[in-house]
Structure 1
Amino acid sequence: MASANLNIMIRAARKAGRSLVKDFREVENLQVSVKGAGDFVSRADREAERIIKEELRNARPNYGWIGEETGEEDGEDPTRRWIVDPLDGTTNFLHGLPHWAVSIALEHKGEIVASVVFDAAKDELFTAEKGDGAFLNDRRIRVSGRRQMIESIFATGVPFAGRGPLPATLRDLGRLMPLTAGVRRWGAASLDLAYVAAGRYEGYWERGIKSWDVAAGVLLVKEAGGRVDSIHPGQSPVESGSIVAANPQLFDELAGIVRQRD
């Protein structure tokens, strides 16, 4: 049975998701402003964050907040904060590609304890709470049981528009692709991690990532029986800006490859 906090998160994600689906149907009419080369933010994105923030703040006014659009705010309770990406996969959204999600995580004393990733276009709701497992639309999910790299599919993000660590990512791809059944780049980190949790991918890695992109997905993978770490050992996969996640059988091999130096 979901906790009160998780129910609050689900309600906020569904409400924002309904707003986003409505705007997604009218994607050509969206008012879009440019944040940077290849990085867009839409009216829909800002409205979704407003909805989520209002829902969460009304229910838990003393919690802290960090959101992609509105930044970080301290709460009266210094031990708890929401970590929110109101629209992960904005570029997909603006191009009419139905692969984007609302991502909400609750952090307590530096640890993610509850997560929601809502793929509103497909009506897939991924949820997890620490110690209670991971679920897709109320069905428990587990990471894949595959043990061979050559049978496995992995996901990543490839830096675009001259941003981020492109040479390192290309090296990763050059090492991994000959060993695997394929690598996917679908443009929404929260869903990449949710798909690892659901056994759709065997693993995922990315460099140059933000905390709100991965915070919810990290708990999904862990609660589905997977392993998650930073590409840089000893650092937080949520805060370090890099992440590697996989089923237990393939984690060490994937991590070993993406941690290689030239």
Structure 2
Amino acid sequence: MRETDVELAIRAAEIGAGVARAMYGTRMERFAKPADDFATEADIAAEEAIMTVLREARPHDAFLGEESGEFGDATSDRRWLVDPLCGTLNYAAHTPLAAVNVALRAGDRLTIAVAADPLSGEVFWTDGEGVLVRSVGRDVPLRPDPTSSLVDLNLNSPFPNKNWFLAANLLTDDDFMSMFDARVLSTTLALTWVAAGRRAAYITDGHLHGSVHFSSGIALCQAAGCVVTNLAGGPIHTGVQGLIAAADATVHAELLNLLSPPSDSEPT
């Protein structure tokens, strides 16, 4: 019987995570990329392993990899998005905070999303019907929960809205700090934790549409029932861009009030 798309995505992510786990903590070469970014040998090896699995199973699809770029059938309406290590700097510094992201976009919809934690062994996944985490061979349904009051902030550039929003400024905002406890992971693994009820929210600036880094995490949050919008409270990937992913409507409203987007960026 043909392997389903979600089963394929989970298998590919687990294989990529296995590569990253095996290489974790070893000395490896770094390959420079634009904007002071870099990839490690683990990024490249994990992506090659993932793409090999996907291409063998779906040879007529299109593919976009963080390290290898675009290839496959450019006319296909099915495109696999792969980020072999989101949190490369953490990983290279022997800090166990990274995610292996595999997603499938069919037409204009993200239909499958998987984010694997190579160090914990957890695999977060959705086929659009709720979110589950696979650990030690068992799938457990997840749901958002704001109880922790932990909000993860992405402090990495770019900052297209810096004229009115910088996530770092929230760290010195008395109102924010009285309501929430800030954390900085520098990996979209934090988005899976919002979906799983381990974080109350996640905030980042930037243009995220079609991003191999963010696609899986956003889809997991949406499928879990989180409130997911741009920084002004409008539809994701529109207007001012950026992202607020909140465990519930109350947390989202509180954060939106604190961010105070300019009036001309409010959703219409």
Q: TM-score range by the shorter chain?
A: 0.7 to 0.9
Equivalent residues in 2 for 1:1-262, closer than 5 Å: 4-26=4-26, 29-36=27-34, 38-73=36-71, 75=73, 78-130=76-128, 132-137=129-134, 138-146=139-147, 152-159=149-156, 164=159, 168-175=166-173, 177-189=176-188, 191-208=189-206, 210=208, 211-231=211-231, 234=234, 236-237=236-237, 242-248=242-248, 249-261=250-262
Q: Which runs of 5+ in 2 are unaligned?
A: 264-268
SS at match of 1:193: helix
AA partner of residue 118 (structure 2): A
Change (3 A) 1:48 1:170: same
In structure 2, relative to structure 1, the CA distance for the partners of 1:43 and 1:181 (3 Å cut) is same
Note if contact 2:191-2:245 (Cα within 8 Å) is conserved in structure 1: yes
Equivalent position amino acid for 2:102 in 1: I
**Residues 115 and 127 in structure 1, CA contact (< 8 A), matched pair in contact too:** yes
TM-fit CA distance, 1:119: 0.2
Give the drift of 1:241: 5.7
| Letter matched to residue 44 of structure 1 | A
The alpha carbon displacement at 1:93 in A equals 0.6
Q: Using the TM superposition, name which of 205-214 and 120-129 deviates more.
A: 205-214
- Where 1:117 maps in the other structure, the secondary structure is strand
Structure 1 pair 41–238 and aligned structure 2 pair: CA distance change class (3 A):
farther
Partner-residue secondary structure (3-state), 1:231 = coil
Percent identity for Structure 1 against Structure 2? 28
Q: Deviation digits for residues 204-225 of structure 1, max 9, x if unmatched?
A: 0101365111101112112212
**1:142–1:75 CA distance, 2 compared to 1 (3 A):** same
Distance 1:217 1:259, change over 3 A: farther
The CA RMSD measured in Å over matched residues stands at 2.5
- The question of whether the paired residues in 1 share the 8 Å contact of 2:102 and 2:216 is answered with yes
Aligned pairs, how many?
250
Q: Which has the higher helix share?
A: 1
- TM-score when normalising by structure 2: 0.84
